[in-house]
A and B are shown apart, each in its own frame.
Chain A
Amino acid sequence: DVQMTQSPSSVSAYVGDRVTITCRAGRGISTYLAWYQQKPGKAPKLLISGASSLQSGVPSRFSGSGSGTDFTLTISSLQPEDFATYYCHQAKSSPPTFGGGTKVEIK
């Protein structure tokens, strides 16, 4: 199985801050990586696929980058509605695996 390691596990930030979350794959996965946002009590929502392709309707302050083993999700200017938990997911090989999550909290 491909291990996905996210960091940090939590981050406290102010509205307007730039936030970066990293995800490292245990072996190369090309760009078969997605990012999801999950708010309490809700299902995850796909934000980014193919490492950097923003889903329709997702604000442009979200961006993704990386290939191979190292990936980042960046929120350029944190908004109140962005406080949530974010997960990465590798889709290169079975079984699909997720990172442990990063909780973005209000400072």
Chain B
Amino acid sequence: DGGITQSPKYLFRKEGQNVTLSCEQNLNHDAMYWYRQDPGQGLRLIYYSQIVNDFQKGDIAEGYSVSREKKESFPLTVTSAQKNPTAFYLCASSIDSGVYGYTFGSGTRLTVV
């Protein structure tokens, strides 16, 4: 079955450590996105990529980094520079780099202690 796989589902890290969240898709979608979800704030765009080896900052990119070395993969690194990293992170993809038919993964809940 085609879809987006985010791993792990739950992640705990100590403050000051970098952590990488995995996102893999087998939908052959061109575009991939990372959103952060916080209660009462909806989904906020962190980074997005429309083609391999290219990505753009979203609204809240500070303290995060990404790479897009393969079409299927779009990992997100939460660095120690991110002031408040505890959140639910969602990865999505869409065909033809457009906004139609976003498919989301099941998310990773990151807790930094």
Same assembly: no
The interface of chain B, by Cβ under 8 A from chain A, is none
The interface of chain A, by Cβ under 8 A from chain B, is none
